[in-house]
Amino acid sequence: MTQLMDWQGQKLAEELMQIMLLAFAVISFATGYIYGSFQMMVLIYAGGVVLTTLLTAPNWPLFNRHPLKWLESSESEKHPKPQQAVSFKKKPAK
């Protein structure tokens, strides 16, 4: 996991995180309410948060299926590098 997530992976990770947290919120509330146990709701939700963190926070390979194609260094040598901008002596009129 030495490289950062690609754009598609970032989108997938974010959406997965939001869906999972909302789903666990609904499941834990419904279960707690039906069984009349507040503790059950909190425990199921806490477990869901941990699971979501494990699945969406680290940079898993599944989030790198569309890596960016950077230009090869050999190819970049063949083309002129961008020039530094020339500075103007006059101050701009206000």
Partner 1 sequence: MHSFGYRANALVTFAVTILALMCAMASISDNFNHPSPSAHVEVLNINWFQKQSKGNDEVSMQLNISADLQSLFTWNTKQVFVFVAAEYGTPKNSLNQISLWDGIIPSREHAKFWIHTSNKYHFIDQGSNLRGKEFNLTLHWHVMPKTGKMFADKIVMTGYRLPEEYR
Q: 68 or 76: whose CB is closer to partner 1?
A: 68
Task: From 3-11, 66-74, 76-84, 85-93, give the range in contact with partner 1 by CB under 8 A.
Answer: 3-11
Count the alpha carbons within 13 Å of 76 in the hemisphere toward its beta carbon: 6
At residue 29's C-alpha, the angle toward residues 42 and 57, to 5°, is 60
Q: Does 41 bind partner 1 (CB under 8 A)?
A: yes
Q: Does 32 bind partner 1 (CB under 8 A)?
A: yes
Cβ of residue 91: shortest distance to partner 1, in angstroms?
38
At residue 32's C-alpha, the angle toward residues 30 and 33, to 5°, is 65
Q: Does 44 bind partner 1 (CB under 8 A)?
A: no
What does the binding site for partner 1 look like in residue numbers (CB under 8 A)?
4-5, 10-11, 13-14, 17-18, 21-22, 25, 28-29, 32-33, 36-38, 41, 45, 49, 52-53, 56-59
